[in-house]
Amino acid sequence: MFVGMDFGTSNSAVGMVDSKGVARIVSHDNAGLSERAHSDTLRSMVAFDRAHRNADGLPLPLVGQEGIAAYLNSGDECRLLQSFKSHLTSQLFTSATIFNRPYTLERLIAIVVERLRRGAEADGSAPVTQVVAGRPVRFVAEDGKDSDEYALKRLSEAFAQAGIAEIAFEFEPIAAAYYYERTLDRDETVLVADFGGGTSDFCLVRLGPSRAGMANPKDAIIGTNGIGIAGDTFDRRIVERGIAEFFGKNTTYHSNRKDLPVPDWIYGKFSRWHHIGFLGTGSTLRMLRDIQRHASHPERIEDLLTLIEYNLGYHLYRAVEQAKVALSQHEETTFVFDHAPVRVERRITRAEFESWIAPEREQIEACVDSLLESTGTTASQVDRVFMTGGSSLVPVVRAIFDRRFGADRVSAGGEFVSVASGLAYRAAELFGRR
């Protein structure tokens, strides 16, 4: 059994290839958070709940959907951490202290990987010690500098702590290419566009029967490029531009004979749903209560207070995600957030959404153009564009490739499992030779 692990910023998945060369995806328990009992993906997050302890009295880590359930039900008694992958380049984030116990970033990642490993072992009925894991084309720090070596060292250590004795890394778009290659009976020059939660990665590669005959199959790679913009960024833009105003953004309040805006740093916490709960400190709540008494829209500040005090950030972002999905299928949708006593309803058009993410779309386009230019490749030399990942379904993103290459040469598939499946195929290719 050969195993590939797609450890993602928002979601993770595991692919397995059996002795017959057939791939499948390991299923994960949704812990009652979805209409479906199981899912092909696992949320890349860990929660520590005071109510769940081991024999030594230490809080047990709860992973994925189970962690979300604990976080929603426990309030202040639960700490939730996520987006570990985006912190791999940070020299500042070395550890987090949870209930007076420090956890390194590597250890937190290892907890998620351990869960993925155990799922693969239960599915395959054998220990998992060799894994091919995905990685973005570029690990880029906040200062814009390339941080590949540092990030990979930390990621390697995390997998080792999770019990993986041998780890090999593969670019995520290359893994998606291996998935797509299974459909080919002739050679093609393919541009693979992989849109994850935290990054968008692109790879030009020669795929088909001849690649398998190469002494080093990686010689088929023509070039790669990537950018730290993807699905999570699009969600944040919906919140910032379309929803935050209902919770007081741009509202003013009267103080010292002046009309002042509600502090913008409050809405900076809206960038990640679980950070909204960080606003629930006594000093912040007292400040907001005082602002509410003198606000131009006190009802919006009341809704903000309810959002914070009832820990509704997860539900808000779920509604945002549903609206984003709907806008991929329809020209407009109605965003609805209904958790009594708060109800927000807003019509959002696809045109509005596309205007909100226009700067990010332009950066994605520039990244693709840069890859073509750096490899000396013209659009006419690309036989096929294969798009995968959740944001590949966003029409304005798809249009980038339709315009450059022609809609007849653009295809998509395996939006949430192509990388994991491709990593498993790569594992069979790499470890099966031994």
Longest alpha-carbon distance in the chain: 78
Is residue 16 assigned to a domain?
yes
**Tally of domains within the chain:** 2
Give yes or no: residues 144 and 293 share one domain. Answer: no
Is residue 107 assigned to a domain?
yes
- DSSP E strands: which ranges in 318-417? 332-339, 342-349, 384-388, 410-412
Q: How far is CA 130 from CA 4, 146, 341, 428, in A?
A: 9, 28, 51, 10
Interhelix angle 231-238/313-327, nearest 10 degrees: 100
Is residue 322 assigned to a domain?
yes
Give yes or no: residues 134 and 278 share one domain. Answer: no
Is residue 249 assigned to a domain?
no
Give yes or no: residues 13 and 159 share one domain. Answer: yes
Q: State the pLDDT at residue 248.
A: 96
What pTM does this model have? 0.84
3-state helix, strand, coil in the chain (%, to 5): 45, 25, 25
Give yes or no: residues 9 and 124 share one domain. Answer: yes
**Could you give the angle at the alpha carbon of 262 between the alpha carbons of 256 and 267, nearest 5°?**
160
Q: Of 236, 244, 245, 258, whose CA–CA distance to 360 is shortest? A: 236
Q: 246: buried, middle or exposed (CB in 10 Å: 19+, 13-18, 0-12)?
A: buried
Q: Which residue has the tokens 């490899």?
A: 375
Is residue 12 assigned to a domain?
yes
Q: How far is CA 403 from CA 140, 147, 376, 378, in A?
A: 28, 33, 19, 13
Give yes or no: residues 47 and 157 share one domain. Answer: yes
Chain length of the chain:
434
> d(Cα 83, Cα 197) in Å, to the nearest integer?
9
> d(Cα 166, Cα 211) in Å, to the nearest integer?
25
Give yes or no: residues 149 and 290 share one domain. Answer: no
Say if residues 301 and 248 touch (Cβ distance below 8 Å).
yes
Give yes or no: residues 145 and 265 share one domain. Answer: no
DSSP string spanning 162-185?
TT-SEEEEEEHHHHHHHHHHTT-S
Is residue 124 assigned to a domain?
yes
Give yes or no: residues 132 and 264 share one domain. Answer: no
| SS3 readout for 400-432 | HHHHHHCHHHEEECCCCCHHHHHHHHHHHHHHC
- Choosing from 354, 382, 411, the residue where a domain stops is 354
Residue type, 40: D
Q: State the pLDDT at residue 143.
A: 58
Is residue 23 assigned to a domain?
yes
Give yes or no: residues 152 and 263 share one domain. Answer: no
User: Which residues constitute the domain of residue 333?
Assistant: 258-354
Q: Of 328, 324, 307, whose CA–CA distance to 316 is shortest? A: 307
Q: Which residue has the tokens 């209409």?
A: 35
For 125, which DSSP code?
Answer: T
Give yes or no: residues 141 and 270 share one domain. Answer: no
- Choosing from 164, 188, 217, the residue where a domain stops is 164
Give yes or no: residues 155 and 263 share one domain. Answer: no
* Ordered mean pLDDT values, 10 residues apiece, the chain (434 residues): 93 91 86 64 91 81 90 78 89 87 94 96 90 89 71 96 96 90 91 91 92 73 92 94 96 94 94 86 95 96 95 92 96 96 96 97 97 97 94 95 96 89 92 73
- Choosing from 336, 354, 372, the residue where a domain stops is 354
Q: State the pLDDT at residue 74.
A: 76
Is residue 327 assigned to a domain?
yes
Q: Which residues contact 74 (CB under 8 A, 6 or more apart)?
A: 49, 50, 51
Say if residues 95 and 103 touch (Cβ distance below 8 Å).
yes
